[in-house]
A and B are shown apart, each in its own frame.
Chain A
Amino acid sequence: KQEVTQIPAALSVPEGENLVLNCSFTDSAIYNLQWFRQDPGKGLTSLLLIQSSQREQTSGRLNASLDKSSGRSTLYIAASQPGDSATYLCAVTSGNEKLTFGTGTRLTIIP
């Protein structure tokens, strides 16, 4: 059974700093990995999708990497802003074609 872990559960950093969020998964036989953002009381917004054959994806200040063999992904946020404050979730799609989510990292950017 696929299990996804995100550490830390919460993170606070001063505005302007670069930061890294971590995601690990137990079964490396994945098809893709997706990072989402969730604001309080809201749904999930897709940030980046990394195919199993890819090593990284970039969108603006966000860069996500994937090391499938070691079961790890990181989300790098450059020059953090207060608007980046949210919960960040990673999810993997495995052979059963459903997304398995981690419990998320709650990020707070301090102005």
Chain B
Amino acid sequence: GAGVSQTPSNKVTEKGKYVELRCDPISGHTALYWYRQSLGQGPEFLIYFQGTGAADDSGLPNDRFFAVRPEGSVSTLKIQRTERGDSAVYLCASSLRGGGRRGNTEAFFGQGTRLTVV
């Protein structure tokens, strides 16, 4: 696609339920990032994929959060037993190769999924 696509754009769920958030990166981008943004704050890092593998998952807050990218393209962020504190905008980004040693490439973000846990 032309840009990073995230679905759904909005998700309202009840406390304790399971949710999946989907990210479709720009075609050919090997690096994929998930961030979480609370109101009035900057995005906070959750997890970074290089290809199919999670290169850095140090930002996942606890074991209720999990993400996969089985074919190196689409990624799914999974949240189990949702809590009201999980309410936020979840942002996905992709870049051609990722920053750092592999190349200083630009990150492009999707429109985000606004998750509300009631």
Interface residues of A (CB under 8 A from B): 4, 31-32, 34, 36, 41-46, 49, 51-52, 89, 91, 93-104
Contact = CB atoms under 8 A, between A and B. Distances in A.
B42 A101 contact: yes
Contacts, number: 79
Contacts of B110: 43
Contacts of B112: 42-43
Most central of B4, B99, B100 by chain A CB within 10 Å: B99
A99 B100 contact: no
5 contacts: A31-B99, A34-B106, A41-B114, A42-B111, A98-B33
Main SS at interface, chain A: strand
A70 B5 CA distance: 37
* Number of chain B interface residues as a range: 20 to 34
A32 B91 contact: no
B109 A34 contact: no
Nearest to A100: B45
B100 A102 contact: no
Contacts of B48: 97-98
